[in-house]
């Protein structure tokens, strides 16, 4: 490398570091928004922490301040979430985890839907097998003859032939 290429490389590195530092400065607000939407307010409103709209809700104010303090200390996201879980319980999380027993909360809706679909297909096929089609061929001819005989008998018994 010659000296001009070295200067360009050094300048590119300085710009890259400045951009990374600049992005890091606004990252706290993004992390606050992201983590605040992963937690629930524990006041009983069943709303996401950053969307709790109770007038004068002290719980959400306290939890938001605690989240700001945790972000200021430089803890990573999973450590912050774990501290909230330890303090408020697992109900503080807006969505269950993806490991252990919490995995059931993700699997069960799909499993129940699949079982319902399989059960429905089984029932429809079972009902289709039990449905009898209208008689065809000789059996149909016998049915038509029996109907003609019944009409003739009704005419005789009601005297419909005499009035014509």
Provide the CATH number for the domain around residue 32.
1.10.8.640
Whether residue 135 lies inside any domain: the answer is no
Our count of domains for the chain comes to 1
DSSP 8-state assignment for residue 44: S
* Tens of pLDDT, residues 29-50: 888 888 888 898 888 787 888 8
Which has the closest alpha carbon to 36: 28, 24, 25? Answer: 28
Whether residue 140 lies inside any domain: the answer is no
Is pLDDT at 162 greater than 80 in this prediction? Answer: no
Whether residue 36 lies inside any domain: the answer is yes
Tell me the average pLDDT across 65-94: 87
pTM score, whole prediction: 0.48
- Domain region containing 53: 1-95
Report the C-alpha gap between 156 and 42 in whole angstroms: 85
Strand partners, 94: none
Report the C-alpha gap between 58 and 47 in whole angstroms: 14
Report the C-alpha gap between 53 and 5 in whole angstroms: 57
Q: Calculate the alpha carbon distances from 160 to 101, 148, 153, 154 in Å.
A: 80, 15, 10, 8
- What per-residue confidence (pLDDT) applies to 123? 94
Whether residue 152 lies inside any domain: the answer is no
- Give the residue, 164 or 82, on which the prediction is more confident: 82
Is pLDDT at 19 greater than 70 in this prediction? Answer: no
- What per-residue confidence (pLDDT) applies to 138? 57
Question: Which secondary structure element, helix H or strand E, spans residue 118, and what is its range?
Answer: helix 103-130
- What per-residue confidence (pLDDT) applies to 25? 45
């Amino acid at each position: 490398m010659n000296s001009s290429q070295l200067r360009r490389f050094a300048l590119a590195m300085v710009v890259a570091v400045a951009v990374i530092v600049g992005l890091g400065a606004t990252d706290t607000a993004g992390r606050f928004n992201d983590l605040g939407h992963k937690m629930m307010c524990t006041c009983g409103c069943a709303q996401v922490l950053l969307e709790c709209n109770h007038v004068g809700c002290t719980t959400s104010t306290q939890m938001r301040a605690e989240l700001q303090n945790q972000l200021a200390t430089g803890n990573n996201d999973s450590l912050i979430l774990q501290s909230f879980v330890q303090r408020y319980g697992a109900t503080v999380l807006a969505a269950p985890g993806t490991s252990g027993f919490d995995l059931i909360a993700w699997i069960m809706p799909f499993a129940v839907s699949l079982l319902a679909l399989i059960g429905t297909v089984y029932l429809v096929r079972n009902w289709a097998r039990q449905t009898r089609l209208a008689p065809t061929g000789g059996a149909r001819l016998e049915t038509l003859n029996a109907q003609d005989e019944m009409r003739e008998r009704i005419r005789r018994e009601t005297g419909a032939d005499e009035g014509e």
